[in-house]
Structure 1
Amino acid sequence: MDKLTMTEKLVAAKLEKGVTWEVAGEALGMSPVWLASACLGMNSAPAEKAKAISEYFGLDEEVATALEVYPTKIWDQAVPTDPLIYRLYEVVGVYGETLKEVIQEKFGDGIMSAIDFSMEVDKIEDPKGDRVLLTLNGKFLPYKSW
């Protein structure tokens, strides 16, 4: 089974079960952000987690096996038109150079890891309109000199 078919089955099972990623993550003892990413095919799951996810959603061993497969992390290089995803591109487009400047001023010449990384998505209720809080937590990796 390929990752696309796996994702279609998992998303359909999630809808049928009527749960959120938050609820599923809590039931499985997993980060809801990581769980969604694995189910959408952008991360691989260790065997025990793949089995637990598949069983939770009532799916077969084929789905569990597909969850274990290392993904090829590619995405469309065009600017997306989905408004939410586009706005994230806009944030990086407008503030990317600023983030790079501030990070490198604080840490030195290097990058933030997307491998040794975690992410949280939180909702902050506000009378003027609810707020989205994204926390991106990546290890700093300095460039080496040789």
Structure 2
Amino acid sequence: MASVVQSLADVNQQLFEAKKTKKLSFEQIAQRMGRDEVWVAALFYGQAKPTDEEVDKLIDVLGPWIDAKAMKRHFNPHFFPERGQLTPMPPTDPTLYRLYEIIGVYGYALKSVIHEKFGDGIMSAINFSAKVEKVQKNGADTVRITYEGKWLPYDFHC
């Protein structure tokens, strides 16, 4: 079975190979680019659209381990990510399945609390950021995931 990375475009596979060769984390790459680590990871997976300036920064960070011309050709102004196509539903990867399971179990509870606090609308996944933190709780490592999206109230004009 091929990995998800092997199913990506050649330039995205090249990004992962350069990251591995340079022994860099997404956090380290993000710091050097002035971006968020989750956004950088999404870019590597072909799920984010970089500006020309961000492509140049990525080339600077990963240096000779990537083909700069191929990166610029791929991430041109006409590049638009095919978002949400990487994962079968339900997901088979254990980590992705846990996230899917969390929405299945807590989705309506979260939705209800959001509506109580904000009214009728949705949280944007376009004007959005996510943060992953490693925190200690009762002497154990725990994962803290924070989602932050712009509030978009429904406004019907029919």
Give the TM-score taking structure 1 as reference length: 0.91
Deviation, 1:65, is 3.3
**Partner-residue secondary structure (3-state), 2:43:** helix
Deviation, 1:119, is 1.1
Distance (Å, rounded) in 2 between the aligned partners of 1:73 and 1:4:
13
Deviation, 1:7, is 1.3
Q: Residue 54 of structure 1 contacts residue 64 of structure 1 at CA under 8 Å; is this kept in 2?
A: no
Give the total of aligned pairs. 145
1:63 aligns with 2:71: yes
Deviations 1:72-92 (A, max 9, x none): 213244211111110000000
Distance (Å, rounded) in 1 between the aligned partners of 2:134 and 2:122:
28
Q: How does 1:1-146 map to 2 (within 5 A)?
A: 4-58=9-63, 59=66, 60-68=68-76, 69-75=79-85, 76-126=87-137, 128-146=139-157
Give every structure 1 segment of 4 or more consecutive aligned residues whose post-TM-superposition deviation is greater than 4 Å.
none
Deviations 1:15-71 (A, max 9, x none): 000011111111222211111111210010000001110231122221133234211
Distance (Å, rounded) in 1 between the aligned partners of 2:102 and 2:112:
15
Distance (Å, rounded) in 2 between the aligned partners of 1:74 and 1:137:
19
Q: Residue 109 of structure 1 contacts residue 142 of structure 1 at CA under 8 Å; is this kept in 2?
A: yes
CA RMSD of aligned residues (A): 1.7
Distance (Å, rounded) in 2 between the aligned partners of 1:19 and 1:130:
22
**Partner-residue secondary structure (3-state), 1:133:** strand
Deviation, 1:114, is 0.5
Distance (Å, rounded) in 2 between the aligned partners of 1:144 and 1:126:
42
Distance (Å, rounded) in 2 between the aligned partners of 1:129 and 1:80:
27
Distance (Å, rounded) in 2 between the aligned partners of 1:95 and 1:85:
15
Q: Which runs of 5+ in 2 are unaligned?
A: 1-7
More deviation, 124-133/113-122: 124-133
